[in-house]
Amino acid sequence: MTIKLMNELEISEKKVLIRTDLNVPIENGIIKSDARILAAIPTIKLAIEKNAKVIVMSHLGRPVEGYYSEKYSLLPVFEYLKKKLNKTKIYFSRNYFDNISINPGEVLILENVRFNKGESENSDELSKKYSSLCDVFVMDAFGSAHRMQSSTYGIGKFVKIACAGLLLMSEINALKKALKKPKRPMISIIGGSKVSTKFNVLNELSKISDTMIVGGGIANTFLAINHKIGKSLHQPEFISTAKKLLDTYNIVIPIDSRVGKHFNNTSESINKLPSDILEDEEIMDFGDETIKKTVNIIKKAKTIIWNGPVGVFEFPNFRKGTEFIAKAIANNNGFSIAGGGETLSVIDMFNIKEHISYISTGGGAFLKFIEGKKLPAIQMLENNFKKQF
């Protein structure tokens, strides 16, 4: 992988456009998790220290493209960054294609790129507009590195210099450490609702993991191989696929579960064996014996890859499995890497951020990298590097 790195470039007084991932959960104007913002700040600060004219862009949520929506505005993020960068002049712009005037050492935050028509389609016209804003483009949004869009990929075709930021490189290096030569035993914990969206990841991780633990709807699909699981979330069309994986690799599935009759935060939690689940019940968490078994596996691990909760952790009655597993990972002295939006929420909920070796800001990109696929943003940086010679 041959790409330019921002920290190696002379960018003083140059307009530097940084594509960050500031896609954070916001409710009623309040940021619920600042993990991605905090991860983006070091690259922004480095550009400030290098006396660049710093321009920052990101997406937020999934608004209707081409239309402004207050719900998806980056204004709350701008207000947050103003406090974090309190010694720096920082501005916000909605109509940034008209004219940008900024001095060295100052920061301009651009409004949500997904308000721009053509962003998701990787429009050349929009990509050219982005490129006209800067002298140097910095790709630092690992969480969007798997998307071939104008602000993450298309701009690289038209800007003279495209390079990688600090976060992007730290993400790639951490994932390589976990995947290329992991210390053994290596375990992976994959939760979430659908086998279909994570089948390739399950397949690839199963090959290199000594043990794989599955939770959530994914685990339910494995349980459905041999059990009737009531109205539990699962994918019947993937049961045969799950069986092949289970027969081939060392995959740990629940031996008991917490079930409820209603999908809400007041539903009673009952611990049951899979064979005892009734038609009107649904699995929403690991049971006590499964928790004991998985925590013991985690204690012995030297490398841990974690993506997704193992139950409906938003409901207090179905949080125990995710909580015990999260805290077991935090107490492990080996190398742990966690990724995915819900995983970040779990880490915040149980206040274990300082005890995870590396927290990836990516969800889809995290999974694609694990699958062994080249991320479009990395390909873009490599292509841009080749253009220089």
Q: Is 124 annotated as a binding residue?
A: no
Residue 344 lies in a domain: no
Q: Is 372 annotated as a binding residue?
A: no
Q: Is 273 annotated as a binding residue?
A: no
Q: In the 8-state DSSP scheme, what is residue 279?
A: T
Q: Which of these is catalytic: 287, 308, 321, 341?
A: 341
Do residues 199 and 261 both lie within one domain? Answer: yes
- CATH number where 57 lies: 3.40.50.1260
Per the CB < 8 A criterion, the answer to whether 268 and 257 are in contact is no
Residue 228 lies in a domain: yes
Residue 345 lies in a domain: no
Do residues 314 and 378 both lie within one domain? Answer: no
Do residues 108 and 218 both lie within one domain? Answer: no
Residue 249 lies in a domain: yes
> Between the CA of residue 124 and those of 119, 150, 155, 273, what are the distances in Å?
9, 7, 8, 56
Do residues 201 and 143 both lie within one domain? Answer: no
Question: pLDDT value at position 389?
Answer: 61
Instruction: Kindly report, residue by residue over 279-323, the tens digit of the pLDDT.
Output: 999 999 999 999 999 999 999 999 999 999 999 999 999 999 999
Do residues 156 and 190 both lie within one domain? Answer: no
Question: pLDDT value at position 86?
Answer: 87
Reply yes or no on whether 66 is catalytic: no
Picking from 106, 70, 113, the residue whose alpha carbon sits closest to that of residue 90 is: 106
Q: Which of these is catalytic: 36, 258, 320, 368?
A: 36
The range of the structural domain enclosing residue 234 comes to 184-333
**Whole-angstrom distance, CA of residue 162 vs CA of residue 145:** 14
Read off the amino acid at residue 341.
G
Residue 339 lies in a domain: no
Question: pLDDT value at position 267?
Answer: 95
Do residues 204 and 307 both lie within one domain? Answer: yes
Q: Which of these is catalytic: 4, 177, 194, 327?
A: 194
- Residue identified by tokens 């494995």 is 222
Do residues 145 and 254 both lie within one domain? Answer: no
Q: Among positive and negative, which fits the CA dihedral 83, 85, 86, 92?
A: negative
Instruction: Kindly report, residue by residue over 86-110, the tens digit of the pLDDT.
Output: 889 999 999 999 888 899 999 999 9
Question: pLDDT value at position 362?
Answer: 81
Question: pLDDT value at position 1?
Answer: 64
Residue 49 lies in a domain: yes
Do residues 114 and 188 both lie within one domain? Answer: no
Residues of the chain with pLDDT under 70: 1, 389
Do residues 250 and 295 both lie within one domain? Answer: yes
Count of domains for the chain? 2
Q: Is 62 annotated as a binding residue?
A: yes
Residue 130 lies in a domain: yes
Do residues 84 and 212 both lie within one domain? Answer: no
Residue 67 lies in a domain: yes
> Between the CA of residue 15 and those of 43, 183, 234, 341, what are the distances in Å?
14, 43, 49, 31
Per the CB < 8 A criterion, the answer to whether 370 and 179 are in contact is yes
Reply yes or no on whether 36 is catalytic: yes
Do residues 25 and 90 both lie within one domain? Answer: yes
Q: Is this prediction's pTM over 0.85? A: no
Do residues 15 and 146 both lie within one domain? Answer: yes
Q: How many residues does the chain have?
A: 389
Reply yes or no on whether 341 is catalytic: yes
Question: pLDDT value at position 328?
Answer: 98
